[in-house]
Amino acid sequence: MSGDGVVEVPGRRGLLDEVEAAEADLRAAAEARPVADQSDLTAYFAAVIAADQKVEPRDWMPEAYRKGLIRQIAQHAHSEIIGMQPEGNWITRAPSLKRKAILLAKVQDEAGHGLYLYAAAETLGVSRDELVDLLLQGRQKYSSIFNYPTLTWADVGAIGWLVDGAAIVNQVPLCRCSYGPYARAMIRICKEESFHQRQGYEILYTLANGTPAQRAMAQDAVNRWWYPSLAMFGPPDRESTHSEQSMAWKIKRFSNDELRQRFVDMCVPQAEVLGLSLPDPALRWNEQRGSYDFTPPDFDELFRVIAGDGPCNRQRMAHRRRAHAEGAWVREAAAAYAAKHRSSDAG
Ligand SMILES: [Fe+2]
Ligand SMILES: [Fe+2]
């Protein structure tokens, strides 16, 4: 417990420190930007990356860098928006007014993350409308984790702890991504994700220290969310398609397997504080590696869910399409209002 009586997540501060260090370096990089020779664009781009400077929207960039970033940022933005659904499912059923207010704020944060990320993608010359269309047509993906159902209140805790926790481990290195607008969005998002993780952890802590039935509910949620959370880091390195180029361009900094290991190593002491077990009989400390050995997730299941065959894929997309259609009048009204203001400003 911390001074305010709220349980602290072991290891949380270290990740936040990394985000703050990335933010300081990003500021320094902006100030130190060299006025280098820009007559050879390819060489200039390579020099910016090599010097850990940021590539900005005004800069020339290879087409594959631009396209790859659009794909990655869009997939990330879609995940934030679709990710509102599993938890939104519990807003009306949260067990107290306080829990309801916190969950509402958290789900709203996710909408905000989607907006920062769509805005970051737009700096690469694609419009948010286009990206939303690609999602609705099923031509762009979102994280497979959001195709799993939230069966009990404890799932909201498990999502905060494990799903937001895995998201942070994935995203903290992206605060150092070579593309400036994405790196800046990630810094802000990571700070908020850290709060999300803490709220989920606190829900589980409360349940784990409650009645035997509450404790069992918490354990059951952890059992169901553990492997899907491990799968969030993507396929094993030997099967990962985009990684190498992404590393060379300093978009991605660590491999899927490295990040997955880091997540496992963080979760074990956190689970101990909760007094809950992780559903892996093979989980044990490996003295030589200085890490925990663990059972990898079922990657066949991951590929099935990515291909559209998870428990909730159809439901999530149907809901998104309905919400988009029902929101059409709001978009039209906002556009009409903006146009009216533009013409009155001009007059
Ligand atoms: Fe988020
Ligand atoms: Fe979150």
Q: Which burial class, exposed, middle or buried, applies to 337 when counting CB atoms under 10 A from its CB (0-12, 13-18, 19+)?
A: exposed
- Ligand 1 centroid to Cα of residue 276, in Å, is 25
- Provide the pLDDT for residue 25: 86
- Provide the pLDDT for residue 238: 86
d(CA 161, CA 165): 5
Task: Note the ligand closest to the C-alpha atom of 196.
Answer: 2
User: What average pLDDT does the segment 70-82 reach?
Assistant: 96
- Ligand 1 centroid to Cα of residue 295, in Å, is 27
Q: What is the DSSP letter of 179?
A: B
Indicate whether 36 pLDDT > 70: no
Indicate whether 264 pLDDT > 90: yes
Beta bridge partners of 55: 179
- Provide the pLDDT for residue 343: 85
Contact 91, 107 (CB under 8 A): yes
Task: Note the ligand closest to the C-alpha atom of 117.
Answer: 1
Give residues with Cβ within 8 angstroms of 203, minimum separation 6: 99, 153, 154, 156, 157, 160
- Provide the pLDDT for residue 239: 84
- Ligand 2 centroid to Cα of residue 103, in Å, is 11
- Ligand 1 centroid to Cα of residue 286, in Å, is 32
User: What average pLDDT does the segment 62-82 reach?
Assistant: 96
Indicate whether 32 pLDDT > 90: no
Contact 271, 222 (CB under 8 A): yes
Q: What is the DSSP letter of 52?
A: T
> Hey, what are 179's tokens?
């593309």
SS3 label, residue 32: coil
- Ligand 2 centroid to Cα of residue 305, in Å, is 21
- Ligand 2 centroid to Cα of residue 142, in Å, is 14
Task: Note the ligand closest to the C-alpha atom of 166.
Answer: 2
pLDDT tens-digit series, residues 284-336: 999 999 999 999 999 999 999 998 999 999 999 999 999 999 999 999 999 99
Give buried/exposed letters for 112-147 (b at 16+ CB in 10 A, else e). Answer: ebbebbbebbbbbebebeebbebbeeeebbbbbbbb
Rounded to the nearest integer, the mean pLDDT of the chain is 92
- Ligand 2 centroid to Cα of residue 136, in Å, is 22
Output the DSSP codes for 178-196: SBHHHHHHHHHHHHHHHHH
pLDDT tens-digit series, residues 4-13: 556 788 888 8
Report the alpha-carbon angle 295-140-311, nearest 5. 50
Q: What is the DSSP letter of 138?
A: T
User: What average pLDDT does the segment 230-238 reach?
Assistant: 94
The pTM for the full model equals 0.91
- Ligand 2 centroid to Cα of residue 196, in Å, is 5
Residue for token pair 């860098």: 65
- Provide the pLDDT for residue 6: 64
Q: Give residue 244's pLDDT band: very low, low, confident or very high (50, 70, 90).
A: confident
- Ligand 1 centroid to Cα of residue 160, in Å, is 10
User: What average pLDDT does the segment 180-193 reach?
Assistant: 95
Indicate whether 35 pLDDT > 90: no
- Ligand 1 centroid to Cα of residue 244, in Å, is 26
Report the alpha-carbon angle 274-79-104, nearest 5. 60
- Ligand 1 centroid to Cα of residue 281, in Å, is 31
* Backbone φ, ψ for residue 179 (5° rounding): -90, 115
- Provide the pLDDT for residue 347: 54
Task: Note the ligand closest to the C-alpha atom of 86.
Answer: 2
SS3 label, residue 240: coil
- Ligand 2 centroid to Cα of residue 164, in Å, is 5
Indicate whether 196 pLDDT > 60: yes
User: What average pLDDT does the segment 85-109 reach?
Assistant: 95
pLDDT tens-digit series, residues 141-184: 999 999 999 999 999 999 999 999 999 999 999 999 999 999 99
Distances from the Cα of 269 to the Cα of 16, 33, 219, 272, 325, angstroms: 18, 41, 16, 5, 45
- Provide the pLDDT for residue 242: 67
